[in-house]
Copies of this chain bind each other. A is one copy, B any other.
Amino acid sequence: MLAAERRDHLLGLLAREGKVVAKDVAADLGISEDSVRRDLRDLAAEGLCQRVYGGALPVSPAVVDYAARQSVAQDGKRKVASAAAALVRPGGTLILDGGTTALAVAHALPRDLACTVITHSPTIAAALLDHPQAELFLLGGRIFKHSAVACGAAAVEAAQNVSADLCLLGVTGVHPEAGLTTGDAEEAAMKRALAARAADTYVLASSEKIGTASRFRVLPWEKISGLITDADPHDAVVEQLKALGLEVLSAN
B residues near A55, Cβ cutoff 8 Å: 2
Q: Are A141 and B150 in contact (CB under 8 A)?
A: no
Produce 1/0 per residue, A45-86, CB < 8 A to B: 011000011110100111101100000000000000000000
One of B3, B65, B120, B132 near A126 (C-beta < 8 A) = B65
Q: How far is the CA of A2 from the CA of B53 in the complex (A)?
A: 7
Q: Are A141 and B138 in contact (CB under 8 A)?
A: yes
Which of A53, A54, A55, A143 has the most chain B CB atoms closer than 10 A to its own CB?
A: A143
A154 touches B (CB below 8 Å): yes
Q: Are A148 and B135 in contact (CB under 8 A)?
A: no
Q: Are B53 and A129 in contact (CB under 8 A)?
A: no
Produce 1/0 per residue, A143-156, CB < 8 A to B: 10100101000110
A223 touches B (CB below 8 Å): no
Asked, given contacts A122-B126, A123-B122, A140-B150, whether A4 binds B52 with beta carbons under 8 Å apart, the answer is yes
B residues near A145, Cβ cutoff 8 Å: 129, 132, 136
Q: How far is the CA of A52 from the CA of B5 in the complex (A)?
A: 10
Interface size bracket, A side: 35 or more
A102 touches B (CB below 8 Å): no
Tell me, rounded to whole Å, the shortest Cβ–Cβ distance linking A151 to chain B. 10
Produce 1/0 per residue, A118-142, CB < 8 A to B: 0010110111011010011111111
Which of A46, A47, A57, A137 has the most chain B CB atoms closer than 10 A to its own CB?
A: A137
A193 touches B (CB below 8 Å): no
A158 touches B (CB below 8 Å): yes
Asked, given contacts A122-B62, A136-B143, A148-B126, whether A21 binds B2 with beta carbons under 8 Å apart, the answer is yes
Tell me, rounded to whole Å, the shortest Cβ–Cβ distance linking A164 to chain B. 14
Question: Across the two chains, which residue of chain B brings its CB closest to A46?
Answer: B132
Q: Are B66 and A129 in contact (CB under 8 A)?
A: yes
